[in-house]
Amino acid sequence: MMRESERMYALLLDMKYQDRLFGSLEGFTKKGNGALACCPFHDDPLPTLVVYADRPEYFCFVCSSRGDWLSYLQRREGLSFSEALSRLTAEAGLLPAGYDKARWEEDLERAHLLEIAAGYFTTQLFSPAGEETLHYLYRRGYAMGEVEGAAFGFFPGFENLKSYLQSQGIGDDILDAVLSAVWDRDADGCTLAIPFRDSCGRLMGMVGRDITRTGREAYRPLTDLSVLKDVPFLMYRARKQEQVIVAEGLLDALLVDQIGIKPAVAIGKEGLSEGQADALSAYGVKQCLLCLGNGSQKGQKTIEAARILESRGIDAAVLPLPHQYDDLDCFIRSTDLHDFKRLLKKPVCMGEWSTDS
């Protein structure tokens, strides 16, 4: 099950509700992937408030005011939580039942803390400490712009992260309540940090990769991921897309997303879950191009994924990789972009596909 607030925000973002919510602010101007406006929380002659277009959040560069749209309405208009909630759910065409204020506050603090952590990890990746991890990405075929676009980071260990957050004024109470509760203290060897956003774009988790290992064991959650278990990775980039590539690994999906020809999501090594299929269906996906990789196990996962998708009225087809490539990432890295485009032109329907073809 998705969070109630997640579904509400995703619907509102798809309506570009941020333009209405923030559009009356002085100096409101669309800029790149979002907008800028004069901050209503400090005396602001120049627009310094960033309104994001791909997540329900805002941030002021000068006074550091930040939050999501529910907290914005409470602070800006003096509404209570339930008044702000009623306003936003009504705009989204939903009922305000089932929302929980305590859980909303938890999500807000978690996303806030992880955004600060992700910003720190990004700067670390381009510092001497992150050199080895950055070179690993280059060796895997990522270009500089793709590394930035995918928002990879270098995770310098839990204690360094904690000291950094303290230096940013995060209090010990929040560190205890949020960081200690969500962060896996045994993941220090996983230096490549991959942000995992929920379906409305809030940063709710992180996955790490140990660059000295290969295969599926190299990945490890840096944070608790239970709130993301029904959210395909990169779902927030694939909402309202009729045709979506479904890959297994996060790096497969990120690479395809950065190439920008077709949206892609990743479902992880366990295969497609019922909850993930519900999310794809709820966000309007009509056809999934399954590209889970070669081998009999992955073949079984492909058949099972197709069955689950079809039970929800989503068409499933397969992108068959030439047998010498294990997965999509490996195929894209070892071939030419034309080969990938050719692959996209030839999806095979389930009836014509067999695991040994």
Spatial separation of the C-alpha atoms in residues 101 and 287, rounded to whole Å? 36
Q: Which of these ranges, 62-70, 107-115, 217-225, 256-264, lies near Zn ion under the rule CB under 5 A?
A: 62-70
Q: CB of residue 260 vs Zn ion: minimum separation in angstroms?
A: 33
Q: CB of residue 43 vs Zn ion: minimum separation in angstroms?
A: 9
How far apart, in Å, are the Cα atoms of 195 and each of 118, 250, 302, 321?
7, 10, 26, 27
Neighbouring C-beta atoms of residue 183, cutoff 10 Å: 21
Interaction of residue 286 with Zn ion, rule CB under 5 A: no
Q: CB of residue 40 vs Zn ion: minimum separation in angstroms?
A: 8
Q: Which of these ranges, 60-68, 205-213, 228-236, 326-334, lies near Zn ion under the rule CB under 5 A?
A: 60-68
Q: Which of these ranges, 58-66, 145-153, 270-278, 337-345, lies near Zn ion under the rule CB under 5 A?
A: 58-66
Considering only CA atoms, which of 46, 48, 103 is closest in space to residue 70? 103
Interaction of residue 46 with Zn ion, rule CB under 5 A: no
Considering only CA atoms, which of 305, 234, 294 is closest in space to residue 266? 234
Q: Site for Zn ion (CB under 5 A): which residue of 60, 118, 305, 309?
A: 60
Q: CB of residue 285 vs Zn ion: minimum separation in angstroms?
A: 38
Q: Which of these ranges, 54-62, 232-240, 261-269, 288-296, lies near Zn ion under the rule CB under 5 A?
A: 54-62
Considering only CA atoms, which of 204, 155, 208 is closest in space to residue 182? 204
Interaction of residue 261 with Zn ion, rule CB under 5 A: no
Interacting positions 187-246 with Zn ion (CB under 5 A): none
The radius of gyration of the chain from alpha carbons, rounded to an integer in Å, stands at 21
Q: Site for Zn ion (CB under 5 A): which residue of 39, 118, 246, 319?
A: 39
Q: CB of residue 67 vs Zn ion: minimum separation in angstroms?
A: 12
Shorter beta-carbon distance to Zn ion: residue 58 or 155: 58
b or e along 318-347 (b: 16 or more beta carbons within 10 Å of the residue's beta carbon)? bbbbeeebbbbbbbbeeeeeeebeebbeeb
Interaction of residue 114 with Zn ion, rule CB under 5 A: no
Interaction of residue 143 with Zn ion, rule CB under 5 A: no
Shorter beta-carbon distance to Zn ion: residue 42 or 346: 42
Interacting positions 65-84 with Zn ion (CB under 5 A): 65
* Cα dihedral 117/268/99/83 (nearest 10): 50
- How many C-alpha atoms does 81 have within 13 Å on its Cβ side? 8
CA 326, chain centre distance (Å): 24
Residues that contact Zn ion, how many (by CB under 5 A) = 7
Q: Site for Zn ion (CB under 5 A): which residue of 1, 46, 63, 337?
A: 63
Interaction of residue 337 with Zn ion, rule CB under 5 A: no
Shorter beta-carbon distance to Zn ion: residue 41 or 136: 41
Spatial separation of the C-alpha atoms in residues 65 and 51, rounded to whole Å? 12
Interaction of residue 42 with Zn ion, rule CB under 5 A: yes
Instruction: Assign 3-state DSSP to the chain and report helix, strand, coil percentages, each to 5.
Output: 45, 15, 40
Q: CB of residue 142 vs Zn ion: minimum separation in angstroms?
A: 35
Q: Which of these ranges, 55-63, 93-101, 172-180, 289-297, lies near Zn ion under the rule CB under 5 A?
A: 55-63
Decide if 52 contacts 58 (C-beta within 8 A). Answer: yes
Interaction of residue 37 with Zn ion, rule CB under 5 A: no
Q: CB of residue 52 vs Zn ion: minimum separation in angstroms?
A: 15
Cβ neighbourhood burial of 158 (10 Å; 0-12, 13-18, 19+): middle
Neighbouring C-beta atoms of residue 15, cutoff 10 Å: 12
Shorter beta-carbon distance to Zn ion: residue 41 or 52: 41
Spatial separation of the C-alpha atoms in residues 167 and 76, rounded to whole Å? 28
Q: CB of residue 31 vs Zn ion: minimum separation in angstroms?
A: 17
Task: Give the residues lining the site for Zn ion (CB under 5 A).
Answer: 39, 41-42, 60, 62-63, 65
